[in-house]
Chain A
Amino acid sequence: MPKQIFAKLVNKEQLTKDIYKFSVEAGEIVKLSKPGNFIEIRVTDQVEPFLRRPISIYNLNEEEGILEFIFQVKGKGTKILSKKEIGDKIDIIGPLGFGTFKFDGNKKIAIIGGGIGVFPLQELAKQAKKSNIEVDTYLGFRNKEYVVLEKEFKEVSDKLIITTDDGSYGEKGFAINFLEDELKNNNYDCIYACGPLPMLRAVQKMSVDKKIECQISLEEKMACGLGVCLGCAVKTSRSTKEAPEYWHVCKGGPVFNARDVEI
């Protein structure tokens, strides 16, 4: 059950040129959140920009009631958000999404993220590790400048591979190529993915071909975040041309079983 709170910004960190990490006091939301959940932030009390911004949860600190999220400045909403100062109250609704990452019963998992899609995977890795699950993490970034959270993911992974498209940091190439290589001699109970669509499509195809369970976190333009406006539609794999069927990222998702959706 989501709550609206006005959460105090207690820490703010610029991770790289246009990526910020915010820590807010949000005990009520933290208590209810699961890995994969997201929040909707209203950056102004005026009507411009109009809509809330859906942002994934990066880290939950239950003891201190602190919620952390990371975002990239992409447009006017995130620009206003990035200018908030420590002590400011931020209008947040959360946790949102009934489709969250499920890991119970797994022994060994692979986590694969690309670009800003790596953020919602940290809490998953952390909680899986805490449940004594072996976690291999594959993170891909555009170039050295965009590589973030290496230390944080290292702490919650048994193995961490960082790739950059141009080889300016870590391994050269795409994260999925390294996961694919590993799958030649090894197996995972489940693959968890979040990132750009081409990456998700490749992971989806690979998981279907190799018959490995796979959960993917999706993104779509949305308004309410509550399952009311029906804006953030995603086609289900049961769809036919004559009878398309849609679920919604904010309600059925944002995490879906890769088999169930057409992306």
Chain B
Amino acid sequence: MNTKINLAGIEMKNPVTVASGTFGYGREFSQFFDLSKLGGIITKGTSLKPKSGNKPPRVCETSSGMLNSIGLQNPGVEYFAQNDLPFLKKFDTAIIVNACGSSVDEYVELCKILNTLDIDGVELNLSCPNVKEGCMAFGNTYEGVKEVTSQVRKVLDKPLIVKLTPNVTDIVSIAKAVEDAGADGVSLINTLLGMKIDIDKRKPALANKTGGLSGPAIKPVAVRMVYQVAKAVNVPILGMGGIVNGEDAIEFMLAGATAVSIGAGNFIDPYTSIKTIEGIEEYMKKYNVNDINEIIGDVP
């Protein structure tokens, strides 16, 4: 039984990764299981300089999911390279750095540094809904996505995956922009922009008023987008949005994802990613699938 896949030039022992912002830089989860079991780790969104993040409250629960407005709090790429990367390198798993910036120049500067580090690839974050500048501001137009991606492509030799926002009218055209600009893969979906109101206080539940919706509540939207993009582009897809078990992961792969990420599912059970790997293997046994690659996009 083969569970190995190749995502945009990155070899992985299985298709299960953990999504940016839901796994930190791995330390906390390494207390629960051996990180080498994962296909890959997508790091917390990392920027050129440290970012302090948004005012609390930053998270709240919603129906079968949650809203967050963290604001990309992170220690910056220099700190990551010195303190977190050496820790992550102790494990036999693909390390993909989620890169975020507030201008084209910043993305380029950051990726120049990332190009020199011992990492397996970069996930370009053009989709965080919780910061005023950059990210989603680039990610929601064809031109914006194409410009950042092609500028980064010039300085980055490593596999480049671009993470897309679902908060657009036509996800297919955005994915095509990524492909046209020379990226090796696309990652979708980031969180859906949402809001919750505290009816007792008559105030938004989050200090930032709006936030990104994640969890099983968004899964059908994510599956639909992966399916549409898979039919339209030739680059591989890292699929995510509400995956909490093997069955969910299989659904994304059938829709066309080469690999998947566990996001908010990591918060409800530290072993969600491991259980997802086991669930995929169970499905393969049940349906006599010898190679996981056989099921990618295997729906009409």
Give me the interface of A with B, judged by CB distance under 8 Å: 1-2, 4, 42, 47-52, 91, 93, 220-224, 226-235, 243-246
CB distance from B211 to the nearest CB of A (A): 10
Q: Is the CB of A229 within 8 A of B267?
A: yes
- Using known A-B contacts A49-B61, A50-B65, A228-B29, determine if residue A233 contacts B55 with beta carbons closer than 8 Å: yes
Task: Give complex CA distance A52, B61 in Å.
Answer: 10
Is B56 in contact with chain A by the CB < 8 A criterion?
yes
CB distance from A78 to the nearest CB of B (A): 12
> B267 — which chain A residues lie within 8 A by C-beta?
51-52, 223-224, 228-229
> A48 — which chain B residues lie within 8 A by C-beta?
63-64
- Using known A-B contacts A4-B32, A226-B28, determine if residue A50 contacts B264 with beta carbons closer than 8 Å: yes
Task: Give complex CA distance A1, B63 in Å.
Answer: 31
- Report, as a range, how many residues of chain B touch the other chain: 35 or more
Task: Give complex CA distance A136, B66 in Å.
Answer: 41
Task: Give complex CA distance A162, B216 in Å.
Answer: 46
Q: Mark B53-70, 1 if CB is under 8 A from A, else 0.
A: 111111111111110101
Interface residues of chain A: helix, strand, loop or mixed (majority): loop
Task: Give complex CA distance A42, B272 in Å.
Answer: 13
Task: Give complex CA distance A233, B65 in Å.
Answer: 20
Q: CB-nearest residue of chain A relative to B270?
A: A4
Q: CB-nearest residue of chain B relative to A93?
A: B270
- Using known A-B contacts A51-B267, A52-B268, determine if residue A233 contacts B24 with beta carbons closer than 8 Å: no
Q: Is the CB of B215 within 8 A of A230?
A: no
- Using known A-B contacts A2-B31, A226-B28, determine if residue A231 contacts B59 with beta carbons closer than 8 Å: yes
Is B73 in contact with chain A by the CB < 8 A criterion?
yes
Q: List 16 A-B contacts (CB under 8 A).
A: A4-B269, A4-B271, A47-B65, A47-B216, A50-B61, A50-B65, A52-B267, A52-B268, A224-B267, A228-B23, A228-B267, A229-B22, A230-B73, A233-B55, A244-B55, A245-B52
Is B21 in contact with chain A by the CB < 8 A criterion?
yes
Task: Give complex CA distance A226, B32 in Å.
Answer: 11
Q: CB-nearest residue of chain A relative to B206?
A: A221
Q: Is the CB of A230 within 8 A of B53?
A: yes
Is B111 in contact with chain A by the CB < 8 A criterion?
no
Total A-B Cβ pairs within 8 A: 101
Q: Mark B22-58, 1 if CB is under 8 A from A, else 0.
A: 1110001101100000000000000000001111111
> B269 — which chain A residues lie within 8 A by C-beta?
4, 42, 91
Interface residues of chain B: helix, strand, loop or mixed (majority): loop
Q: Is the CB of A232 within 8 A of B215?
A: no
- Using known A-B contacts A220-B57, A228-B29, A233-B58, determine if residue A47 contacts B66 with beta carbons closer than 8 Å: no
Task: Give complex CA distance A52, B54 in Å.
Answer: 22
The one of B53, B64, B68, B73 in contact with A47, judged by C-beta atoms closer than 8 angstroms, is B64
- Using known A-B contacts A223-B68, A233-B53, determine if residue A51 contacts B23 with beta carbons closer than 8 Å: no
The one of B23, B59, B266 in contact with A222, judged by C-beta atoms closer than 8 angstroms, is B59
The one of A52, A228, A233 in contact with B56, judged by C-beta atoms closer than 8 angstroms, is A233
> A222 — which chain B residues lie within 8 A by C-beta?
59
Give me the 10 closest cross-chain CB pairs, A-B, nearest first: A231-B59, A228-B24, A233-B56, A226-B28, A224-B267, A223-B267, A221-B57, A47-B216, A231-B58, A48-B64
Q: CB-nearest residue of chain B relative to A75?
A: B61
> B29 — which chain A residues lie within 8 A by C-beta?
226, 228
Is B244 in contact with chain A by the CB < 8 A criterion?
yes
Q: Is the CB of B56 within 8 A of A47?
A: no
> A231 — which chain B residues lie within 8 A by C-beta?
56-59, 68, 70
> A93 — which chain B residues lie within 8 A by C-beta?
270
Q: Is the CB of A42 within 8 A of B268?
A: yes
Q: Is the CB of B266 within 8 A of A224?
A: yes
> A50 — which chain B residues lie within 8 A by C-beta?
61-66, 215-216, 264, 268
Task: Give complex CA distance A232, B54 in Å.
Answer: 11
> A232 — which chain B residues lie within 8 A by C-beta?
56, 58-59
